[in-house]
Amino acid sequence: MENDRYAKELEVAVRVVHVACALCRRVQEKLFSNDSDHVLSKDDDSPVTVAEDFSVQATVSWLLSSTFGVENVSIVAEEDIQTISKDDSANLLAAVVNTVNESLALASNYGLQSPESTLGNSEVLEAIRRCNSTGGLRGRHWILDPVDGTLGFVRGDQYAVALALIEDGNALLGVLGCPNYPLKAESLNYNYQHHHETMSESSSLVCDTSEKGCILYARKGSGEAWLQPLISRDKVLEWPNYAQLIRVSSVDDPALATLCEPVERANSNHSFTAGLAHSVGLRKQPLRVHSMVKYAAIARGDAEIFMKFARSGYKEKIWDHAAGVVIVEEAGGVVTDAGGRPLDFSKGMYLECLDRGIIACSGITLHEKLIAAVYASWDSSNL
């Protein structure tokens, strides 16, 4: 039956992301503990965060390969094997191997296969090495962002684990793990006061609420997007875990709509976005959120709009968008480039044919207004 296509892939992907999110939570707990070895590593390019990226990548790679067979799994992912293979990376590799084994030992709690014996350095390196696909127009490829939003992660703020499945250039499945995303929408209000580059740890979600952590997922064409709370590591997962349908917001008045935009200014033109927002009548202060959690906010109805216009020379990567796009669209939203065309995931690792930027909306009314505003204001922009 058509409705059963990719059912196993989606079920496995959701479980795998549960395992990956549990890994991230354990690493973050250590990062924010009083252990000085970890406190010294609170930056977005530290040994802790690099090890986490590799650990998630190796864990996801091993789980997908053990389930579907190594020969059947192609993975496009951000991290490459060179960094961790260097002679001076022995400590980094040791940390990754330890974290991977700790995570895979718990995989059976989530209905997945755990290794029969502890993985060694070569096996972990091989799992990472398998994530070397470049995607493209032909074949089936898993698209992984092991930790999207590293800066959010080290600040105890928002970050995501993203896994999508693309077949012949079409994004078919999307799974988005958001370990710090509040289960109650009102907890997002802190963003209006605290989302600044100098945000202190005391304002982070790690400290703000214990009711946090969820996984969103969807299959293209189903017309359904789902949310599950994260399962604590001491509980055995009985599948299917509790899940609820989510839908985008019904707000279509720009004056009532909430805009999500990236926190970082490095690869995003905030001034053009602000001008565009003003021209269509957006009045609320933007919700600045790290990572693909912006897509989660739209899919769940916590915000209505996400716009990103990259600075000149920056190329959007498919792993930063594929999972989120599937989820938002199946929740009833619209995602296109700034020219109104669907995002094209068939060109390899980058959105090569992207027209100016990306616009995601909860509905077609807001989307059409934004597209029209882009065309009206583009010539006078500073991009």
Helix (H) or strand (E) segment spanning residue 17: helix 7-31
The number of angstroms, rounded, from the C-alpha of 189 to the middle of its chain's C-alpha atoms is 21
Among residues 49, 53, 59, 258, which one is catalytic?
Answer: 53
Q: Are 220 and 170 in contact (CB under 8 A)?
A: yes
Q: Are 252 and 280 in contact (CB under 8 A)?
A: no
Query: Residue 157, annotated ligand binder?
Result: no
Closest to 140 measured CA to CA, from 166, 158, 115, 108: 166
Q: What does 147-171 look like in DSSP terms, one character per residue?
A: EE-HHHHHTTS--EEEEEEEETTEE
Kindly give, in sequence order, each residue whose CB lies less than 8 Å from that of residue 228, ignoring residues fewer than 6 positions away.
14, 214, 215, 217, 241, 242, 243
- Is 150 catalytic? The answer is yes
- Is 273 catalytic? The answer is no
Cα distance between residue 50 and residue 303, in whole Å = 31
Q: Are 305 and 362 in contact (CB under 8 A)?
A: yes
Query: Residue 78, annotated ligand binder?
Result: yes
Q: Is 149 left (phi over 0), alpha (psi -120 to 50) or beta?
A: left
Query: Residue 148, annotated ligand binder?
Result: yes
Give the three-state DSSP class for 208. Answer: helix
Among residues 99, 150, 258, 273, which one is catalytic?
Answer: 150
Catalytically annotated residues: 53, 150
Which residues fall in the annotated binding site? Answer: 78, 145, 148, 320
Which residues define the annotated binding site for Mg(2+)?
78, 145, 148, 320
